[in-house]
Structure 1
Amino acid sequence: MNKEKIDKVKMCTETVIRWNEIDEEILQQRSKLDWLKLGDGNNAYFHASIRAKHKAKSIDKLELNDDSVIQDQPEIEAEDLRFYKSLMGDKTETIQAIDIVAMRAGTQVKPEQDDMLTSQVTDQEIFKALNSIGDLESPGIDDYGAKFFKAS
């Protein structure tokens, strides 16, 4: 339990973590360069990467709770809708009454929390949130990295 050794271990750990982050950034840049070289044209690499993304995001079959399996796409879509509608409940046109006891039984928002949630967002908060995103992260599908937005 030597304080000097503990501090040295912490410093070494932070250094290793930073070097790992730098290595990861280099690998991400290399992959982007490979994409620019090989994937930007209308070629097999481009189409293979699109097919791989599509396959990774598709649902080919769905196993239900009763162990039955559906593979027909319209049936999968209908089952997805049924499942998520059951989670959300049905739309009601009128509410008979609000159960105050049930409302008060849960966690309540304190007045200072309410003030914070309803206050205006400041430029400093936006700046802090934007800077918390890594430069190589792309917040949307347009592939603009966060560094672009930070510079803008």
Structure 2
Amino acid sequence: MNGTFHKSLKNPNCDVLKKLDRVLVNEEFTSKFGRAHAIFHPYLISDHSPAVLVIPDGIVCKPKSFRFMNYIADKPEFIPLVENVWKKVVNGVPMFKVVQKLKALKKDLNFLNWQNGNIFSKVKDLKQKLKVAQAEVDDNPFDKTVKAEAVKLLNEYRDACKDEMKILKQKVRVKWLEDGDKNSKYFHSILKSRKSKSRVESICNDHGQRFFGGEVADQIVEHFKKNLGSSSNTQPVEDLGDIFTKVLSAEEANSMVVEVTNAEIKEALFDIDSNKASGPDGYTARFFKKAWPVVEMIYV
């Protein structure tokens, strides 16, 4: 554990302050206690902030939000499924139509993902079956039925491995290693560390009171209600003077409100990395790239 560095706390003009305190854990600890977190207290007269490691007794199960899994975009059922939903009539402006049809797609896409089962377990199961089948081929090299079964399992195993790699690549969101090794342990380690870093287990309000669990979200909402839900009187500014030195020309301003074309939308979406989410609805850019021949019709 490192300390909290400050140049001179007694000097009121000193603004050098760096918090270096850390609680270090290994991969095994993260695997066993995924919800563990640390609470740092004021360092007072010490160079270190006291850290309290909290290990919750249990995990509260919450409904999972929708996440589009990229690998299902390569399944033969994907395009017909999207096309069937996209043909439904929705009244409203183009953006409203897109949102409603994306919402309608979520249930069917989740079902398609569910049909493929647990990919990681599927890979392990097929690997064991393939070993047995290949051993039978070695024992019966002239049996065409045994060979055909081994070839079938080999193809299924390869497809499952590809799906597994796509899922890992999407979840980890790091640049793909180009050394030919799938590095499963490396990717799983990154996944665990990301889960630990992106959680907010407790929060303090303006009065220093700490809240845990489900109360965290309520305090965040209250904070923004207090800061964004209030209004105050403002005075009109007649002469802006030199406040705004850089302004758009009339031509540039008009170009910002012209109608957006299909080509521009396609160019923007296709420029996004396939593993990146294009919005809070859970869909990745991979969805739009794969389904573009179908979904672009809504703008026509």
- TM bucket normalised to smaller: 0.3 to 0.5
Larger helix proportion of the pair:
1
TM-score (norm 2): 0.27
TM-score (norm 1): 0.45
Larger strand proportion of the pair:
2
Structure with bigger RCO (C-alpha 8 Å, 6+ apart): 2
Q: Which has the larger radius of gyration?
A: 2
